[in-house]
Chain A
């Protein structure tokens, strides 16, 4: 059973557009919802994360929206730039999740066209 479902697998957006990447999870005990950004040849980097006590968090051009009842959270990139082209991963979990809480989605390959 797939614990984390990330979509879409790939996404092409014009510069200035708003790509949206979605992540669905199963475990209702999860309490920490991060997104990671990975550039070719580099390790993933923690980009932004949210706790379930809020429904939205913004950091610069990056926004997480969280829907606890639907067990989903999304990453939005405002005013997207070619430099945002990367692979993005979600990894829902938390300190009490054990190995289940350390599972990553399969990734979304995002291309921002100039």
Chain B
């Protein structure tokens, strides 16, 4: 039972490049989330999906897009990466609409 799986674990991009961060959960959870974590800022919500087919903006959605591909998968896309998007990105999931129950181990993204 893998829980929440994020790929890749590390990535270095150049400014202006695009990429998609992948997330999958195997717990049949309804809700999925994307957070970013920066030193001294805690975890900030980017987007969340309360159910398959729905997505909503969080605190810091600018520069990102998401896709809830199916119940298992929730991807995060950076269309034109900027240095300010250098961060650790966490995907999470939960049974209902409450706070996350399980987190992945993160994607460490550096944008030069």
Contact = CB atoms under 8 A, between A and B. Distances in A.
Q: Tell me, yes or no, whether A binds B.
A: yes
Interface of A: 6, 32, 34, 41-46, 89, 91, 93-96, 98-99, 101-107
Given A43-B90, A43-B105, A101 B98 contact: yes
A42 B88 CA distance: 10
Interface in B72-91: 90
Given A43-B92, A43-B104, A89-B43, A103 B98 contact: no
29 contacts: A6-B42, A34-B99, A42-B105, A42-B106, A43-B4, A43-B105, A43-B106, A45-B103, A46-B99, A46-B101, A46-B102, A91-B99, A94-B98, A95-B98, A96-B97, A98-B56, A99-B45, A99-B59, A101-B98, A101-B99, A102-B48, A102-B58, A102-B99, A102-B100, A103-B45, A103-B59, A104-B42, A106-B40, A106-B41
Main SS of the interface on chain A?
loop
Interface string B53-65: 0001111000000
Interface of B: 4, 33, 35, 40-45, 48, 56-59, 90, 92, 96-106
A32 B100 CA distance: 11
Contacts, number: 59
Given A91-B99, A93-B99, A103-B45, 5 more contacts: A43-B4, A45-B103, A46-B102, A102-B100, A103-B59
